[in-house]
């Protein structure tokens, strides 16, 4: 105990981790709901509807279902690895989130001033890449350990795919690094503050547009999503590397995938979209209250929806949630809090947009063939990102953009 009291930093970190974990888990859950809804709309269906109004409680139901299903381990599987793989995947996916700051402000917890990030490192970007590069093992080991044909193929494919696209993913980011001159997310975002002509925000997406495109493509491939979801190409190999997995282990892979989506979206936001910076000029002071307004409106909508809905659970649950939202909104209306919340608000907003883009993609595009995928990755994406890198460095050299 006295060890802990000697090091309150540990306590603070634990608290932060707990909060982050809760938030992210919820986000994951509802991301699935969101995806299904949007895809359904794109395909002019209703999507999940019956569990809760608009199927809002669907994720909950899914989670329960996963938990209670039987956990099958194939007898021929290599047991240790088989069990290890999903944990590895999820753990790594979540670990990366620890490096991602969501706001500029520093708050004080237990008298400890701390930032809105779990682990602040001045080489955060590299660390992030390093950790995410380990994510391959989850897939590969899963594919290998199930000791069956389709998973093996899926594992091979995905590891090959990830290794290949990791290269161009990293390269596409270097341009930003050159302009920002730091690995630290705070510096990178800081380098994007300010505006051209007092209006256009100096986000990296403008000078690094091609870099952004490369990054987006590589990121989609990296997260094994359509149109690059070869590892779980249903038509070819049943469900790819996690064919043999069932119940909660399967859920872990599922969560890991969405966590990766969130991670890359956050990264894109931080690197290219100016992180937590507001798109509006700072002079517009009213934007301080946007979060509050949003929350209050949302809360009201929930209350209304809950009352009007026909289901009993909805009648009970939603007003409560709405009231909670109203309360939080009111909290955010306080000036001090508003300042703190400002950053996370914009940040989450941008991440949300990116996630929507992902889902949109999934709803729209068909799947590549494997050889197409590889040749695209090596013969198109890599050269383009390299060219982008070279041009950027030349420009930096002659214009001396940043130290």
Partner 1 sequence: MSIAMALFIVCGALTIFGAVGLILAKEPVHSALSLILVMVALAVLYLLLGAEFIAAIQILVYAGAIMVLFVFVIMLLNAGEEVRTNLSRLARWVGLPLGVFFLAEMGYLLFHEYAGRAAGAANAPVVASTTDLSMKLFTEFVLPFELTSILILIAVLGAMVLARKEPQ
Half-sphere exposure of 256 (CA within 13 A, CB side): 26
Binding mask of the shown chain, residues 4 to 43, with x at each position contacting partner 1 by CB under 8 A: ---x------------------------------------
Closer CB to partner 1, residue 141 or residue 317? 141
Nearest distance in Å: CB 161, partner 1: 11
**From 65-73, 157-165, 214-222, 383-391, span contacting partner 1 (CB under 8 A):** 157-165
Closer CB to partner 1, residue 150 or residue 358? 150
Among 15, 29, 83, 134, binds partner 1 (CB under 8 A): 134
Nearest to 296 by CA among 259, 263, 327: 327
Q: Does 81 participate in binding partner 1 (rule CB under 8 A)?
A: yes
Q: Are 280 and 187 in contact (CB under 8 A)?
A: no
How far is the C-alpha of 307 from the C-alpha of 322, rounded, in Å? Answer: 11
Q: Does 84 participate in binding partner 1 (rule CB under 8 A)?
A: yes
Among 27, 136, 214, 338, binds partner 1 (CB under 8 A): 136
Q: Does 119 participate in binding partner 1 (rule CB under 8 A)?
A: no
Provide the 10 A C-beta neighbour count for residue 184: 17
Among 99, 117, 160, 292, binds partner 1 (CB under 8 A): 160
Closer CB to partner 1, residue 92 or residue 328? 92
Residue 10 to residues 15, 94, 108, 119, 139, Cα–Cα distance (Å): 9, 19, 14, 11, 32
Among 21, 34, 54, 78, binds partner 1 (CB under 8 A): 78
Q: Does 374 participate in binding partner 1 (rule CB under 8 A)?
A: no
Phi/psi at 239 (5° precision): -130, 25
Q: Does 152 participate in binding partner 1 (rule CB under 8 A)?
A: yes
Binding mask of the shown chain, residues 181 to 220, with x at each position contacting partner 1 by CB under 8 A: --x-------------------------------------
**From 107-115, 116-124, 215-223, 242-250, span contacting partner 1 (CB under 8 A):** 116-124
How far is the C-alpha of 161 from the C-alpha of 155, rounded, in Å? Answer: 10
Q: Does 143 participate in binding partner 1 (rule CB under 8 A)?
A: yes
Phi/psi at 112 (5° precision): -105, 115
Closer CB to partner 1, residue 18 or residue 80? 80
Nearest distance in Å: CB 324, partner 1: 38
- Provide the token pair at 355: 């996630």
Which DSSP state fits 381?
A: I
Among 30, 49, 129, 357, binds partner 1 (CB under 8 A): 129
**From 20-28, 120-128, 258-266, 307-315, span contacting partner 1 (CB under 8 A):** 120-128
Helices (H), 225-275: 247-272
- Provide the token pair at 37: 């809804």
Q: Are 203 and 192 in contact (CB under 8 A)?
A: yes
Helices (H), 146-285: 149-180, 185-191, 209-222, 247-272
Nearest to 188 by CA among 98, 101, 278: 101
Half-sphere exposure of 178 (CA within 13 A, CB side): 23
Contact residues for 248 (Cβ-Cβ < 8 A; gap 6+): 66, 67, 69, 71
Q: Does 80 participate in binding partner 1 (rule CB under 8 A)?
A: yes
Binding site for partner 1 (CB under 8 A): 7, 78, 80-81, 84, 121-123, 126-127, 129-131, 133-134, 136-137, 140-141, 143-145, 152, 155-156, 159-160, 163, 166, 183
């Amino acid at each position: 105990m006295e060890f802990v009291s000697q090091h309150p930093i540990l306590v603070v970190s634990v608290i932060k981790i707990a909060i982050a974990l809760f938030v992210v888990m919820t986000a994951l859950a509802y991301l699935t709901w969101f995806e299904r809804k949007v895809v359904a709309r794109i395909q002019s269906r209703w999507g999940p509807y019956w569990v809760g109004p608009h199927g809002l409680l669907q994720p909950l139901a899914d989670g329960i279902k996963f938990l209670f299903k039987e956990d099958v381990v194939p007898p021929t599987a290599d047991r240790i690895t088989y069990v290890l793989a999903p944990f590895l995947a999820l753990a790594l996916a979540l670990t990366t989130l620890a490096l991602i700051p969501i706001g500029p402000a520093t708050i004080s917890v237990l008298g400890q001033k701390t930032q809105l990030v779990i682990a602040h490192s001045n080489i955060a970007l590299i660390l992030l890449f390093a950790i995410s590069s380990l994510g391959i093992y989850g897939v590969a080991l899963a594919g290998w350990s199930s000791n069956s044909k389709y998973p093996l193929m899926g594992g091979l494919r995905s590891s090959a795919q990830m290794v290949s696209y990791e290269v161009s993913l990293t390269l596409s980011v270097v341009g930003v690094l050159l302009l920002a001159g730091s690995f630290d997310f705070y510096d990178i975002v800081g380098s994007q503050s300010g505006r051209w002509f007092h209006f256009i925000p100096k986000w990296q997406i403008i000078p690094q547009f091609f870099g952004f495109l490369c990054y987006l493509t590589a990121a989609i491939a990296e997260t094994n999503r359509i149109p690059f979801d070869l590892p779980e190409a249903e038509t070819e190999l049943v469900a790819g590397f996690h064919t043999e997995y069932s119940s909660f282990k399967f859920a872990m892979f599922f969560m890991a995938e969405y966590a990766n989506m969130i991670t890359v979206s956050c990264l894109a936001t931080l690197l290219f979209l100016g992180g937590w910076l507001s798109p509006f000029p700072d002079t517009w002071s009213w934007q301080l209250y946007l979060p509050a307004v949003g929350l209050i409106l949302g809360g009201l909508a929930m209350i209304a929806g809950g009352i009007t809905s026909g289901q009993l659970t909805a009648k009970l649950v939603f007003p409560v949630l709405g009231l909670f939202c109203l309360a939080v909104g009111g909290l955010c209306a306080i000036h001090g809090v508003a300042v703190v919340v400002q950053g996370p608000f914009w940040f989450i907003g941008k991440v949300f947009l990116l996630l929507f883009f992902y889902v949109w993609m999934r709803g729209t595009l068909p799947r590549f063939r494997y050889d197409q995928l590889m040749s695209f990755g090596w013969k198109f994406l890599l050269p383009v990102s390299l060219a982008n890198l070279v041009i950027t460095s030349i420009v930096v050299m002659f214009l001396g953009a940043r130290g």
